[in-house]
Amino acid sequence: MSSFKRKVPSKQVALPPGTRASSSSPSTILTSSGIPSLDDILGGGLPLSCSLVVLAPDNHSAYGELVQKYFVAQGIACGQTVCILHDDAVTFAAECMWMPNSSSNTRTPTPPADEEDEAARNEENIKIAWRYEQMKKFQTTVVPNNLSTDDFCNTFDLTSRIPLSVIDDARNDKRLLLLNLNEGCDVASSMMGVIRRIQHVLAATSSTEVVRLCIPSLGSLEWVGQSPKDILHFLHSLRRLLRQYPHACACVSLPPHLCTDSWGGMGWVQKVGWVTDAAISLEGFGADPSLVALFPSHHGLLQIHKLPTPHTILSASDKYSTLRGLSSSAGASVGSGENNLAFKCMRKRLIFETMHLDLEGGVTERRTAPSANAISLDAGIAHAHGVLRVVDEGPSRSLATVEVELEQTTTEIRGSLSESPGMSQSAAKNATTPSKLKKPKKKVAFHSDKPDLYDF
């Protein structure tokens, strides 16, 4: 009998609320960003002890701030500790979205009909050929698991706002910490001063509680020290703090003018990825109308600069991400290279998906070609409504000439008029009745200039 015994833990360790173990490494604990499709890109979620930097170089939008509001709302919904560092932290927290079925939420006025749900129902009712019914439907993004019993990732509605009572309860329970940059002296708003305040907050929390750090618009005018060197030093110091306190994670965004190499010099965005654990860019189409016309179903491109790799060499996203197309769950796209990713902000949610072309022709007008049966049917209708003119050459002749005009084609028909003269007059009266004008063929145009109202 062999003396070998498998070493197994005697008791399963309970995970904090709103977290789960990573599929690639059991020692890595993941927490959700609030967006299921972004969690898929990150490899299942944002690992604890890691930082995420969101770059949004478009000056006409605020997609980076929107991602951070998802991050804050998810932390409050699952009972985690959320710390916001902003010049107006109270207003920032009050503008976060909330769950649509909450009884105490404040809802913005919306149309009574739900276009997204109606479109989904219509898509389900479409009848297709029986041989294709069992095939998997084409999907461009991941579907959130609403039947899951845990609170890892909640479903939020952009038309709903977080109730003030929820914010007050979170502040009273010390689960929502609002740190304003303009409080105190100038030292408090400097880069290293904020690092010391963050260290004080992390040291005061328990190691069993998950802490989310939200830092919007790092390096804006409210911060003291806006040089590229100061920002890189701050991000590297924040990364060191997260390694020291592994029960915390951070989400940082930069102002639009700091998200390009034109401000920090050549390789600036790459340097930001080096000093953080994960970095992505949301490049909106607002500044380029040609891209809006070329991709009407998307609002911007998603570019990945770095992905988190805690306790591993290879990122878990390469193995488990469905949208990137490198994992075995991606199906037919395996081996064809990484997918191009895009995002779109609809009326109720923000989603990331694989970039795909629209219908043939895009937003231009497209004429439908009639079938052969339709052509023959139109010819028969035109023959029935032809113009008849009776020409009587005089009483001495018993023959009359009838001219039939069919679409600029005239045909003479001679026949015997053996009937009475009264019958000939009635026939001539009916024949001289003006024909109906032929209606022009209808044109079918596909316009999708407002993709934010629909979910394809």
- Whole-number pLDDT of residue 147: 46
Contact (CB, 8 A) for 160 and 107: yes
Instruction: Identify whether 268 is part of a domain.
Output: yes
- Whole-number pLDDT of residue 416: 46
- Whole-number pLDDT of residue 419: 46
Q: What angle do CA 174, 177, 46 make, to 5 degrees?
A: 105
Instruction: Identify whether 367 is part of a domain.
Output: no
Alpha helices in 46-183 (DSSP H): 63-77, 89-94, 115-124, 164-172
CATH code of the domain covering residue 44: 3.40.50.300
Give pLDDT tens digits for 140-166: 777 666 545 568 999 999 999 999 999
> Which residues sit opposite 20 in a β-bridge?
30
Give pLDDT tens digits for 92-147: 999 999 998 765 554 444 444 445 555 554 555 555 555 555 555 556 777 666 54
- Whole-number pLDDT of residue 341: 94
Instruction: Identify whether 218 is part of a domain.
Output: yes
- Number of domains within the chain: 1
Contact (CB, 8 A) for 89 and 181: no
Contact (CB, 8 A) for 39 and 264: no
Instruction: Identify whether 133 is part of a domain.
Output: no
Question: Which residue range forms the structural domain that includes residue 33?
Answer: 29-101+138-328+335-354
- Whole-number pLDDT of residue 417: 43
Instruction: Identify whether 151 is part of a domain.
Output: yes
Instruction: Identify whether 144 is part of a domain.
Output: yes
User: Is the pTM value of this prediction over 0.85?
Assistant: no
- Whole-number pLDDT of residue 56: 94
Instruction: Identify whether 277 is part of a domain.
Output: yes
Least Cα distance to 105 among 176, 168, 161 occurs for 161
378: left (phi over 0), alpha (psi -120 to 50) or beta: alpha
CA distances from 347 to 114, 151, 454 (A): 10, 24, 8
Structure tokens at 120: 């989904």
Instruction: Identify whether 363 is part of a domain.
Output: no
- Whole-number pLDDT of residue 291: 86
- Whole-number pLDDT of residue 360: 53
- Give me the residues of the chain with pLDDT under 70, please: 1-12, 102-139, 143-150, 182-189, 225, 327-336, 357-456
